[in-house]
Chain A
Amino acid sequence: MIDLKNVYKIYETGDVEVHALDGISLHIDKGEFVAIVGQSGSGKSTCMNIIGCLDVPTDGEYILDGIDVSTMDDDELSYIRNNELGFIFQQYNLIQKLSVINNVELPLIYKRYPKEARRKIAMEALERVGLKGMENRFPQQLSGGQQQRVSIARALAGEPSVILADEPTGALDSKTGIEVLALIKKLNEEGNTIILVTHDNEIAEQAKRVVRLQDGKIVEDRPGRGQ
């Protein structure tokens, strides 16, 4: 499913080269629930950007679902993100002026689905995250937990191969955080491949597999307690 082979990401700032990712190789199978954990500056965000096709590696190969995406251009990456990936962000990243249903429909609009199909899929996704009946509200009218559920529904609506969750509980109180995490686990049990990026070891342990990054390198790769 996901195959990173000796991936480097090098930033040049003046004369200094920063190796954000320093030769990472990682294989993730379909249906896995992997936590990528590490301190700030460990390279986990860079790793997530590359897995999420928001950025391309400086060197190395990235095969996603059989497609080599490491040398793609901007529009090709957009296409891959649209069709293969679902994002759950720490700050939910909903578009405030769009209603809940319109936010969830967004990936389908870019897939050029017709209106009726969009509505149907989006409604199903909202039902799966327990927000049935909220479709015409606006993000500001919802609690943080509810907004995060909307963003999960949006990720689901695109029927992605991989769901990427970047500190999904980071902006939530602990109780709501646990609920959202439970929802993510449930999605994994339903067969979705999930990659969770966090700095929090406790949360990372909820995954079935924990990959620890430090200084741009993988320093640990072991089963989590969620196994």
Chain B
Amino acid sequence: MDIGQSFILAVKSLMASKMRALLTMLGIIIGVSAVILISGMGEGLTAKVEETFTSMGSNIVTAMALRQTETKYVDLDKLAEFASETEGMKYYAPYTQTSATAKFGTEDASTTVYGTNEDYASIRDRGIASGRNIQYLDVEREQRVCVVGSHVIEELFGDDVTNDELIGEQLKINGTTFKIVGIMEEKASGMAGGDDDMILIPYTVAQKVFNIQYVNMFYFTYENGDYADTIIDKVDRFFYNIYDNADYYFIMDAQSMMEEMYDMLDTITSILVAIAAVSLLVGGVGIMNIMLVSVTERTKEIGIRKAIGANKFDVLSQFVIEAITTSVIGGTIGIMLGIFFTNIASVILGIEGKVTFGAVAIAVGVSSLIGILFGYMPAKKAADMHPIDALRHE
């Protein structure tokens, strides 16, 4: 019997009892759509993490001094010297981070104020839309100047003014007057608490205004990946020399954090996919169950076919193809549902889910494999029937 004929026959036989066919396929449908959905969302999450890390800037090493005392503290002059003398070090920026209220006239906005130097914008990959960045002299001479994020501008001045008009305006941060010297390019979608909800001021000013004795956070970037290990190592040594104890500071680099994060995501996705795959297995058992029933029900038909000349392989292939057809149709429905649910989940979770060709290929492969695997046993039973006994069966 040729494959096409068997396939048509199998579809006909499925159509003859639609409800049963659907229930048989249900396990496969759920399993495949779950695998598609989970792997799709996993891909999406990985992409999102990558995007986040990239927007944070790559090649960044972050150091944090957890406790500083009069005898053991980070000397900013020494640190600047260390940064400029270290080979492969590109940018260095100390920074403080404070929640504050910015005021212009009667409008005010809660935001985050970063006290830092001229390299901060480059490190965080922030462009200046209007005016200028913070400069070395601003830091040295403790100029009360600020570079403002677009969200804060919107909060304080509304949409009606152009950025250029605002350069030179004064606003108050926690009561202290600052001159706006620059406005940052919009980066995120301008949401509160996002990258655009911030103000940069010289760190020397921040220390005074917010009464911060010690700057405790530091960014370093390296020229390229070749320097990563040596820079991390040297930064670590710099801080260790201050404290003689690794517990008082904390160093992390975006690259290795990203890799760890990927590993973790991969593991989580794999585990979830594996759990979903169990339902594929259950679906396979469901198919086997129904195929066994079907073989018993159709004993007479098998007898007729064998009497007329069907050999074992003919009968075997008929039932295996029927099982494969069932599971592949179920798999196809599962793929479509999986893509559908991935799109819905993407909207709900705000993560762009990606259904990869690989995931679909595996789903198709696995569902036809299940058809063969779980269809074989019942089909073998049918093929081995003795024609006389089978014909006598009513």
Q: Which residues of A contact B (CB under 8 A)?
A: 49, 52, 54-55, 74-75, 78-79, 81-83, 87, 89, 93-95, 97, 106-107, 109-112, 154, 158
Contact = CB atoms under 8 A, between A and B. Distances in A.
A74 B391 contact: no
A154 B309 CA distance: 12
B301 A95 contact: yes
B93 to A, nearest CB: 78
A78 B306 contact: yes
A120 B22 CA distance: 37
B391 A82 contact: no
A89 B16 CA distance: 26
B13 A78 contact: no
A154 B308 contact: yes
Given A54-B387, A54-B388, A109-B1, A97 B309 contact: no
Nearest to B383: A74
A93 B309 contact: no
Nearest to A52: B307
Interface residues of B, number: 23
Interface string B353-394: 000000000000000000000000000000000011001000
B234 interface: no
A112 B311 CA distance: 12
21 contacts: A55-B388, A75-B311, A78-B314, A79-B311, A81-B309, A82-B309, A82-B310, A83-B309, A87-B307, A93-B303, A93-B304, A93-B307, A93-B391, A94-B304, A95-B304, A106-B308, A109-B2, A110-B305, A110-B314, A154-B308, A158-B308
A97 B307 CA distance: 18
B67 interface: no
B18 interface: no
Interface string B47-68: 0000000000000000000000
A74 B389 CA distance: 14
B309 A158 contact: yes
Contacts of A87: 307-308
Contacts, number: 63
Contacts of B312: 74-75, 78
Contacts of A75: 311-313
Contacts of B300: 93
A75 B316 CA distance: 12
Interface string B308-328: 111111100000000000000
A154 B305 CA distance: 12
B106 interface: no
A78 B301 CA distance: 15
A161 to B, nearest CB: 13
Given A97-B12, A97-B13, A107 B388 contact: no
B241 interface: no
A72 B257 CA distance: 71
Given A78-B309, A82-B309, 17 more contacts: A54-B391, A74-B311, A75-B313, A78-B312, A82-B308, A87-B308, A93-B300, A93-B304, A94-B304, A95-B304, A95-B305, A97-B12, A106-B304, A109-B1, A110-B310, A110-B314, A112-B2
A146 to B, nearest CB: 18
A49 B308 contact: no
